[in-house]
Amino acid sequence: MNRFIAAVTAGIMVACAAHAEVTEEDIANDQTITSQIVTNGMGRGLQRFSPLDILNKDNVKNLVPAWAFSLGGEKQRGQETQPLVYDGVMYITGSYSRMYAIDLATGKEIWQYDARLPEGILPCCDVINRGAAIYGNNIYFGTLDARLVALDLKTGKVVWNKKIENYKEGYSYTAAPLIVDGKVMVGNSGGEFGVVGAVYAYDAETGDLVWKRPTIEGNMGMLNGEESTMTGELNATWPGDMWKTGGGATWLGGSYDADTDTLVFGAGNPSPWNSWLRGAGQASGKDDHSGDNLYAATRLGIDPATGEIKWHFQTTPREGWDFDGVNEVVGFTDKDGNKRYGTADRNGFFYVLNREDGAFVRAFPFVQNITWAEGIDETGRPIYVEAARPGDPSKAADGEKGEPVFAVPGFLGGKNWMPMSYSEKTGMFYVPSNEWGMDIWNEPITYKKGAAYLGAGFTIKPLFEDHIGSLKAIDPNTGEIKWDHKNDAPLWGGVMTTAGGLVFFGTPEGKFIALDDESGEELWSFQTGSGIVGQPVTWDQDGEQYVSIVSGWGGAVPLWGGEVAKKVAYLNQGGMVWTFKLPKQLAAAE
């Protein structure tokens, strides 16, 4: 039921009255303005690095809880949100498309908004929401029935509510929006239902659609209410009419590179998973890319003004393992002063790209025992092990099930949605990864609107007895893994680094942890009571540094994880915001 709970105390309303609107400059400088967090990623470049060093390796042991807030009700499930902080208020989203405004000083609720979700929504991977964005006097977030909502920051009242796509066809939306030059940039979810991925830009003030860019070739873009240009070239890499249900959902949102004025979004798995139906494996030679299925499993550089594609880099052409291609793209400057992007793909390889044009620079594996490819060639294309591709069911004796294979990584990826961090202090990426594989096989499938469109079966399996999760410190210049923090259960939450030399992350077992960024040594931890799949943030307030994480077990692992799901079935759901601070009197203590 849709409900809006307004503030009832005069003190809270007075505190909110001091609110000043968020400008493009505020957003552009979000990583360096340490008293606020108004963007996903603690800055549109998604480095998730804070220049704060009040809290450091010597005093982090003195970090103590300041307050906790319960999301309440029976709607626990997975809590993957990243908190936002502005003008004395914290804003979080919750499962089932909820939004909360919380007083930073006390942890008391100011207002709550619950989206009115219809019957029949079709979320793939739990009823999660990954966060919001602030601009002007509004806060923006998406809902599971594929809508984009603008709420008033002070009151939580709806300013506008726009339909992105039709949820009955399998579309949904879970990512945090991205604000650039007064436009709200969003993607869509639903690749398992044969939708067509797209990136959309809405006018932040009115909610009007400015442009739409589909991510599957053959589909027409929109600009200012009219058709613009076709994505790619019709049937260049897709057979027949399959581009009409080609997948490529943009379900994780994107980043913005101010240096090149480029949006960077990833497009997910092609539909269906059964690659033989899409012409995959039929290429006659190295230069024949007719089965690549562009622009699925691809990173796209997009003009934020028009939605035109500037460049593309496809991580897994002929994708047949649900490796997707949506994982975040993070800008950084390498040791030689070159402007680069780093992205850790579900396929198990970490890629470094040129920021000017998305061109391939280098790639290296960041998980163990990869089976589907021998490596990446000098152009950035995989060197396939064709025997590791799930078999063609049409060649099977019964025509019902292709030859199964054991593939590494599993379809949940060497790294899934959970955001990594890049430290400007160490020059390293801190990547939450998982070591697992899967039995996978292909099956016949026919598209039906609103029905699952996979054409595959699978079972995820752990690779090692002592761990699945692995937080790795990686040098992007060499591919060297400096250290590796192993965890029994899969890692499924975000990572944050700070100038104080700390790496923060949480585990499904409920531990919120701070590590030494150079050695990986554990310096501090706190048991939150439920599994952590959220994203940590930090800010300063009245001379003290605060850290916050949302705890609440869920997400894709317990739903899709096969043998791994059984391994973590004992974990409890929850729904709490935990906020910690380093008191001034303990900041200098050792």
Per-residue pLDDT of 213-231, as tens digits, reads 999 999 999 999 999 999 9
Tokens standing for 419? 């955001």
Q: What is the pLDDT of residues 522-531, one digit of tens each?
A: 999 999 999 9
d(CA 89, CA 91): 7
Q: What is the pLDDT of residues 331-373, one digit of tens each?
A: 999 999 999 999 999 999 999 999 999 999 999 999 999 999 9
d(CA 262, CA 278): 30
Tokens standing for 590? 């050792």
d(CA 281, CA 266): 23
Give 37's pLDDT tier (boundaries 50, 70, 90).
very high
Give burial (CB, 10 Å; 0-12/13-18/19+) of 527: exposed
d(CA 60, CA 496): 14
d(CA 468, CA 487): 6
The residue among 577, 581, 583, 582 whose CA lies nearest residue 109 is 577
Q: How many CA atoms lie within 13 A of 317 on its CB side?
A: 24
Name the least confident of 160-169, 490-499, 565-574: 565-574
Give the global pTM.
0.95
One-letter amino acid for residue 350 of the chain: F
One-letter amino acid for residue 534 of the chain: G
Q: What is the pLDDT of residues 92-147, one digit of tens each?
A: 999 999 999 999 999 999 999 999 999 999 888 899 999 999 999 999 999 999 99
Q: 49: which strand partners?
A: 497
Q: What integer pLDDT is reported at residue 288 of this predicted model?
A: 64
d(CA 530, CA 390): 37
d(CA 79, CA 102): 16
- pLDDT of residue 283 exceeding 70, the answer is no
Query: What number is the average pLDDT over the span 242-256?
Result: 97
d(CA 491, CA 494): 9
- pLDDT of residue 12 exceeding 50, the answer is no
Tokens standing for 540? 């300063």
Q: What is the pLDDT of residues 42-99, one digit of tens each?
A: 999 999 999 999 999 999 999 999 999 999 877 788 999 999 999 999 999 999 999 9
218's torsion region: left (phi>0), alpha (psi -120 to 50) or beta?
left
Domain ranges for the chain: 3-586
- pLDDT of residue 284 exceeding 70, the answer is no
Place of tokens 């990869």: 370
Q: What integer pLDDT is reported at residue 590 of this predicted model?
A: 59
Please name the residue ranges forming H helices in 459-569.
Answer: 557-560, 563-567
Q: What integer pLDDT is reported at residue 1 of this predicted model?
A: 39
Query: What number is the average pLDDT over the span 192-212?
Result: 97
d(CA 13, CA 21): 16
Q: What integer pLDDT is reported at residue 489 of this predicted model?
A: 96
Q: What integer pLDDT is reported at residue 6 of this predicted model?
A: 39
The percentage of residues in the chain with a pLDDT greater than 70, rounded to a whole number, is 95
Other C-beta atoms lying within 10 Å of the C-beta of residue 211: 24
Q: What integer pLDDT is reported at residue 352 of this predicted model?
A: 98
- Residue 71, C-beta contacts closer than 8 angstroms, at least 6 positions apart: 79, 94, 95, 98, 100, 552, 575, 576, 577
d(CA 509, CA 572): 9
Query: What number is the average pLDDT over the span 199-211?
Result: 98
Q: What integer pLDDT is reported at residue 13 of this predicted model?
A: 40
CB 539 within 8 A of CB 547: no
Query: What number is the average pLDDT over the span 20-24?
Result: 93
DSSP character string of 462-515? ES-SS-SEEEEEE-TTT--EEEEEEESSPP-S--EEETTSEEEEE-TTSEEEEE
CATH fold of the domain at 3-586: Methanol Dehydrogenase; Chain A (2.140.10)
**At residue 25, what are phi and psi to the nearest 5 degrees?**
-65, -40
Average pLDDT over the chain reads 93
**At residue 228, what are phi and psi to the nearest 5 degrees?**
-110, -95
CB 348 within 8 A of CB 414: yes
Tokens standing for 3? 């409900």
Place of tokens 């007075």: 14
DSSP character string of 86-106? ETTEEEEEETTTEEEEEETTT
Catalytic positions are: 322
The percentage of residues in the chain with a pLDDT greater than 90, rounded to a whole number, is 87
Give 280's pLDDT tier (boundaries 50, 70, 90).
low
Q: What is the pLDDT of residues 141-159, one digit of tens each?
A: 999 999 999 999 999 999 9
Q: What integer pLDDT is reported at residue 562 of this predicted model?
A: 83
Q: What integer pLDDT is reported at residue 2 of this predicted model?
A: 44
Most distant CA pair in the chain: distance in Å?
Answer: 74
CB 575 within 8 A of CB 76: yes
The residue among 48, 55, 45 whose CA lies nearest residue 516 is 55
Say how many Å lie between the first and final Cα of the chain, rounded: 51
Task: Give a three-class secondary structure readout of 246-304.
Answer: CECCCCCCEEEECCCCEEEEEECCECCCCHHHHCCCCCCCCCCCCCCCCCCCEEEEECC
Q: What is the pLDDT of residues 401-454, one digit of tens each?
A: 999 999 999 999 999 999 999 999 999 999 999 999 999 999 999 999 999 999
Q: Which residues of 164-180 are buried (b: 16+ CB within 10 A; e: fewer)?
A: bbebebbbbbbbbbbbb
Q: What integer pLDDT is reported at residue 589 of this predicted model?
A: 63
Tokens standing for 400? 């019902």
d(CA 251, CA 295): 14
142 secondary structure, DSSP code: E
Query: What number is the average pLDDT over the span 10-36?
Result: 75
3-class secondary-structure state, position 165: coil
317-to-220, 266, 269, 343, 370 alpha-carbon distances in Å: 22, 14, 10, 16, 17
Query: What number is the average pLDDT over the span 306-312?
Result: 98
Angle at Cα 254 formed by Cα 272 and Cα 86, nearest 5°? 140
The residue among 173, 298, 281, 282 whose CA lies nearest residue 246 is 298
Query: How far does CA 583 lie from the centroid of its chain?
Result: 32
